[in-house]
Structures are given as structure tokens and as C-alpha cells.
Chain A
């Protein structure tokens, strides 16, 4: 089962990379860009038939290691 995990840094936590990219876009004339955030997408291929079980197992992986609960939120989507 294909699972897509999106790890997003909470809005209140600074994202120096996003800030730098925004500055670069402005330098290139794309002044309409009001904010840039760089997040992380992880693609998993998981052995399992039960969608609910796979969903909860991957959410567990996010809480345990894939996301840092101090900084980040996550979403888990079964994509195929």
C-alpha cells in the first residue's frame, strides 16, 4: 500500500530555508510571493491490506520518529 506522509513545521516555528527562498524569489522579481515554507514528504510502501490498520501504524511511526513533536505536525494519506 502506498502511503504519503507530509511533515510540516508548525507556523510559529521559523523556517530559515523558506525565508531564504522567499528572498531569492523577490530578488528575481516575484514580489507577489508573500510566504514560503519548505516541508518534507516521505513516500512509504507498506505491506498490508487493512487500510485503517496501515493508517494507524504509519501515524504511530510519525509520532515515534518521522516527525519531531516539538516542531512538526504530520498528515498521513494512503495514496494507492
Chain B
């Protein structure tokens, strides 16, 4: 097989594999509100995380903790929207830095996890 033929074959394989039916990737965090590492003037009423894949609600969690390690979300984390959103309501936040900690299971059974901070600074 010649070099160009091999490259053409690889491109065809790329197309075939990419449209493979059962495919679903790892769920990575696409964006969040409040933004990752961001600063907000008004304390948010909830955090919303958007993922790159649909999530399994029963095995997807989000928590928000203060710098003192105190939990400030209402323990009502839930998957919503098109199955790619994870939301949690927050208790009234005072100025400070908060850490959002998440762990999710995508519908293809891959677990991913992460955390980020945001600041409330009126």
C-alpha cells in the first residue's frame, strides 16, 4: 500500500469512526455560571455547569464550599436542560471565594471530576 493510499484510508477511517453509532465521549466541563475563576458582584442564587456530554443524573454530583470548608449549596444538585447541565441552588453568599466541586458520569459510563473557584466581591 502506498503512502497516499494509507493517508486516504486513515481519513476514511476517521469519518467512519467519528460517526460510529454508540459513540459518546468523556464529559468535560465546557463552561459554568458563575464563570470558572470569575468574580461576581451580586451573590448568585445557583451555580450551573455545562458539560460536553449528557450525564447520568443518578451518578452526577456538584457541591459548593466556602473557604472555611462549609457547604453553601442546598444539596439539590440536579441534571437539567438537555442532559448536559448540572445545577445547584445556593444559600445567600457573603463576599469571599467559593469552590465548586463536581464529579459526573457521562452516559457512556466514563467518570470525570474537577473543581474551580469563583469570587463574590461586591
Q: Do they bind each other?
A: no
Q: Which residues of A contact B (CB under 8 A)?
A: none
Chain B residues in contact with chain A, CB under 8 A?
Answer: none
